[in-house]
Structure 1
């Protein structure tokens, strides 16, 4: 498995396992442990969480599985996110859907994540969404406290645009080590608006959520999806891919920004398919053929 170096003492597996649907997989703790072990055996050591996933249940489910074999903690990197507040029966004090990046909330959320995951530290804590009511000084204070206490080793953001990233970085002492953003051949927004360019400018490595566009390329009958699916099927046959999912992963993996796709499946064959995409190479012609197919028009 390829490794991506984010800091001198931090690297992630090139493929990351996303746990946002863990509560939907209806697995026992032993089954989840087996899935974790499969990932580790295949070289996937980085696991992506957020406090809100599964209506605040997924971190706890993962922690229950990890408690069956605590020694695995030293073999993995745990990423989690905070800052979104959801109404949930599991959080009766929450009365509305909003963002909260106050110092108090960031620290309390992290403390709860540590408890739920059954770990003493988080490898990387991300602010989940840009908060229009953010006080960056409070975020900086929360980061410093958590870092000094040894509870979080590194920090980053998710879904931040250029100006939001640079604003927050100007306040915090620690380098923001990643930006987790939506990237796929179907959704080009972060390719087109400079968000991915910022990652390259700052030499940070982006995590890509929804690299398969939520399945749109597989199932949608709209003109864009149909056109892109036909192109990807053509490229799949040219490069010997086993399916269009591998081409979608390869399209991101071949980009020079060291994009790290998040695979959000509980099925080992889907995870293995993403791993196998690491061996697929696209020519520049093929990469641009997919790009222009998604755009629906030729490049200037």
Structure 2
């Protein structure tokens, strides 16, 4: 599988990562199958969050890793924290927060909980999950220092942060923030739309995120793309969805050309962008995991990339 360097470091990993949000619904046996299929497909990066399945996803992962043929040191394991769960609104894979909390003690306790549930001694990376407007960067810095000094976390990053929020943390911590995990897919292209519609008055000209993609490229930050096959906010997948006939026709055409699935082409479309992105797939279906992973080795032409963009309902000004 195609490899990439995280954050312009020498930390080299697979271009596709496995997100385990939905692992809470699996038996240990099925979770083992998902993990082993991922590794057999070239995926060596695992993404989690302490709130996934209200912690149960990490528990299932920990048991599955122990029962699998996979050695811990062959994986890059990442988790996220900073969201306090609202149990009254949360169910299964859909977990909602009642507040965000980046206090020093909460971040340290969060990592301890993650390590216990996943049955590992350290995380390769830990991300601040969603920006807390009440965060005190000095407390984040103290937490990061303690977590790194104790050997519990090797690298750090953020998720869903705009450039100013990113820099507010970066200027306070000694560690380099290597990652920003953001929603991006063929059907969620705001990060690139506005750049092509500069100084225009249509909906796509609106800069919703402060130039995140350009910022990430300039500062060598790896964008990890979540929901790569989804449209809306967990509204569903666009793959084989009758709502998107033109897009699926184009995806199938390219899938036939390159000998992969539509999921593989959707993966290849993201990876064709020169921004050093990593695709985080969330499926637990072994067949879909393998199909999606194959897309990492497909390099679309520039015209094919644009053709998929057009098939999704976009245009050029």
TM-score, with length taken from structure 1: 0.89
Counterpart residue number, 2:79: 80
Counterpart residue number, 2:179: 178
Counterpart residue number, 2:2: 2
How far the C-alpha of 1:68 sits from its partner, in A, is: 2.9
How far the C-alpha of 1:217 sits from its partner, in A, is: 1.8
List per-residue Cα deviations over 1:170-228 (Å, max 9, x = no partner). 11110011111111010012334421221111112211111111544235555xx3443
| Structure 1: gaps of 5 or more residues | none
SS for the counterpart of 1:174 is coil
TM-score, with length taken from structure 2: 0.84
Counterpart residue number, 2:199: none
How far the C-alpha of 1:127 sits from its partner, in A, is: 0.5
1:152-163 correspondence to structure 2 within 5 Å: 152-163=153-164
How far the C-alpha of 1:229 sits from its partner, in A, is: 3.0
1:5-154 correspondence to structure 2 within 5 Å: 5-6=5-6, 8=9, 10-24=11-25, 26-27=26-27, 29-68=28-67, 72-88=71-87, 97-154=98-155
CA contact (8 A) 2:47 2:78 kept: yes
CA contact (8 A) 1:241 1:247 kept: no
4+ residue runs over 4 A deviation: 219-222
Larger relative contact order (C-alpha < 8 A, sep ≥ 6)? 2
The range that moved more, 104-113 or 285-294, is 285-294
Is 1:284 paired with 2:305?
no
| Structure 2: gaps of 5 or more residues | 91-95, 195-206
**What is the CA RMSD across the aligned residues, in angstroms?**
2.3
List per-residue Cα deviations over 1:116-136 (Å, max 9, x = no partner). 111111100000111111111
Cα distance in 2 for residues equivalent to 1:204 and 1:129: 17
CA contact (8 A) 1:217 1:226 kept: no
Is 1:212 paired with 2:211?
no
1:192-231 correspondence to structure 2 within 5 Å: 192=194, 193=207, 194-213=211-230, 215-218=236-239, 220-222=241-243, 225-231=244-250
The range that moved more, 192-201 or 114-123, is 192-201
